[in-house]
Amino acid sequence: MKAGNAKQLTSARRSVAEREGNMTTSRAEARVVVDHRPATKLAGLVTGRLRSVVALRFSGVYGLVGMIIIFSIASPVFWSHPTALTILNSTAIDGILALGVMVPFAARVIDLQFGNVLGLSIVLTTWFSVNSGLNDWIIALLVLTICAVLGAVSGCIVAFMDAGAVVVTLAVGTVALGIGWLVLGSNTESAEFNTSSFAYVGEGSWLSLPIVVWLMIALAVISYVWFERTASGRYVRIVGDNKRAALLSGIRVRLVLVCVLIYSSLIAGVGGLLFTAQTQFGSNGLGANYLFPVVGAIVLGSTQIKGRINVLGTILAVYLIATGTEGVNLLQQGDATWTANFLAGTLLLLGIGFRTLDERRQPRRAGR
């Protein structure tokens, strides 16, 4: 009797153990199944976001290629060597300016004086070449010194008085414009260069490309290496990302703010020298034409390639605007003065929209 009860108890325990084992196995399988679902969903989410980021970051490349195809079909003249040279040459100064102005923009310092500083550089270069009798390169050095002083003035006010960069640079730019009107008035004067090498910089070419284009390429390479690969370039970006964090980490924020505005004004001065060397005349108000194309290129370029202000994105945006302008001009068979401003304004709005979209996605990604 006892032996029979023991056998029944043993078999009951065995069946319970088997049931528990089966339940444990089924639970483990259920966990495996459940665990796979979020992983698959996450992989799909990451892939979708990666595609959208790539589409946004390289939209300028798609736009440029699309413009070239459309304008080449609409006007056979567009797909030609002279048109390509025209686009490269006419926009080289815009590219040089954008490479200079993007530095204070990267530090979250909005520089609006560069256009008038460039205009003053044109006026002073022309006036000195006619009235001073100095060597052209001495004139260039003198003009660049004046431009650097204007940048230092605005930089010191922004850095040490904690004033808004927009108001300060607008005020200093207005001062530069006033000096230009004092020197040249409403006259248009022809420059008289006394060295052939200075004129060659504006009009000469090497390997079928204008010297001005080579200068832009050289500045782009130097700017890329400095901005992306050096400590000082990173300091500028860190100040732009978080000024307080930069200060706490030991970065001399005030010095950075002064230096970026001096650099921007120096590059604007170089742009004025190159413009005068190309056209060999000077008058007031010429710098204002560069304001919106350059700012538009910087803002749009900040949404391209890296998703922040960068050299490659800036140059891409500059030539996106230039290609659209030249294409519309060819289709209208003339110089449509509205085209550059219209395209620059439109692309500036697109750049602001893309930038806002990208910034809204970042907190969402961080939250996840």
What CATH number has the domain bearing residue 165?
A: 1.10.3470
Instruction: Count structural domains, the chain.
Output: 2
Same domain, 240 and 210: yes
Q: Which among 13, 36, 57 is the end of a domain?
A: 57
CA distances from residue 40 to 35, 44, 129, 176, 367 in whole angstroms, order as listed: 9, 6, 70, 61, 19
Same domain, 117 and 103: yes
Summarised one tens digit per residue, pLDDT across range 121-151 is 999 999 999 998 899 999 999 999 999 999 9
Tell me what the mean pLDDT of segment 251-266 comes to: 96
Q: Cα 89 from chain centroid? A: 19
Tell me what the mean pLDDT of segment 5-25 comes to: 53
Q: Let me know: does 215 contact 203? Beta carbons within 8 Å.
A: no
Tell me what the mean pLDDT of segment 150-168 comes to: 94
Q: What pTM, to 2 d.p., does this model score?
A: 0.80
* Alpha-carbon gap, residue 52 to 33, rounded angstroms: 29
Same domain, 46 and 146: no
- Please give the share of the chain, as a percent, with pLDDT higher than 70: 77
Same domain, 7 and 109: no
Same domain, 7 and 147: no
* Alpha-carbon gap, residue 131 to 270, rounded angstroms: 21
Same domain, 117 and 26: no
Q: Let me know: does 53 contact 298? Beta carbons within 8 Å.
A: no
3-state secondary structure of 282: strand
If residue 57 lies in a helix (H) or strand (E), which one and from where to where? helix 2-57
Same domain, 134 and 40: no
Tell me what the mean pLDDT of segment 38-44 comes to: 53
* Alpha-carbon gap, residue 312 to 301, rounded angstroms: 8
Q: Which among 32, 57, 82 is the end of a domain?
A: 57
Same domain, 73 and 51: no
What domain range includes position 37?
1-57
Query: For position 63, what pLDDT does the model report?
Result: 83
Summarised one tens digit per residue, pLDDT across range 320-368 is 888 888 888 777 765 556 666 677 677 777 767 766 766 666 555 444 4
Same domain, 310 and 351: yes
Q: Say whether pLDDT at 32 is over 50.
A: no
Query: For position 146, what pLDDT does the model report?
Result: 96
Q: Let me know: does 124 contact 145? Beta carbons within 8 Å.
A: no
Kindly indicate the confidence band of residue 34, based on its pLDDT and cuts at 50, 70 and 90.
very low
| Phi–psi pair at 179, nearest 5 degrees | -65, -40
Q: Let me know: does 205 contact 211? Beta carbons within 8 Å.
A: yes
Same domain, 39 and 101: no
Same domain, 112 and 53: no
Tell me what the mean pLDDT of segment 91-119 comes to: 94
Q: Which among 20, 40, 57 is the end of a domain?
A: 57
Same domain, 261 and 167: yes
